Amino acid sequence: MAEEDLELVYEEAKEAMEKSVKSYRKDLLRIRTGRASTSLLDGIMVDYYGAQTPLNQLANLSAPDPRMLVVTAFDKSALGDIERAIQASELGLNPANDGKVIRITIPPLTEERRKELVKQVRKSAEEHKVGVREARRDAMAMLKDLEGDGTLPKDDRHRGDKHVQDLTNDYTGQIDQLTEQKKQEVLEV
């Protein structure tokens, strides 16, 4: 019985930690590097006939070269709304609408902006590490409750604590690795 309880605690902790890492990966896609990437436009919502609609549902997004994004709207009448949504975003991009497509030239990053982006990456990493640590705390509390109920012997709880800590170290290590990769991308000139 105790083994099943332990496995359940491990699975819950693992799921929660995995969610934090997945969420961090998504956040990293939104942080701009020197290259054009369609994922840069993820999360932009366009006011389309009074409804907030994700940009990628209204247009085809492409990156024909490393310094340009092209947005081809499925409905040409939405081009103005799409252009306004891109300008209103916090990305600092200037879209050019020629009536058929919207071209977005990605300006090279200044040294100062690169440093700001690295800070943003670190901040996001720390926020997601907190999610991993919260999952650890919850798992440790479950193990303590199981021991308190008499379901789990003390030795098994200590072994469980160590296993949960190993999981925590693994997932925070994954976040650190992703952070390093993103920092290298951002600082690459």
CB 124 within 8 A of CB 116: no
Residue environment code for 70-83, b if the CB has 16+ CB neighbours within 10 A, otherwise e:
bbebeeeebbebbb
Rounded CA-CA distance 56/101 in Å is 14
Place of tokens 């996001």: 124
Radius of gyration of the chain (CA): 22
What pTM does this model have?
0.74
Residue 90 DSSP code: T
Q: Mean pLDDT: which of 11-20, 80-89, 94-103, 114-123 is highest?
A: 11-20
**All domains of the chain in start order, with CATH:** 2-30+110-187 (1.10.132.20), 38-105 (3.30.1360.40)
pLDDT of residue 189: 64
pLDDT digits (tens, 9 = 90+) for 154-178: 888 899 999 999 999 999 999 999 9
Residue environment code for 152-175, b if the CB has 16+ CB neighbours within 10 A, otherwise e:
beeebbeebbebbeebbeebbebb
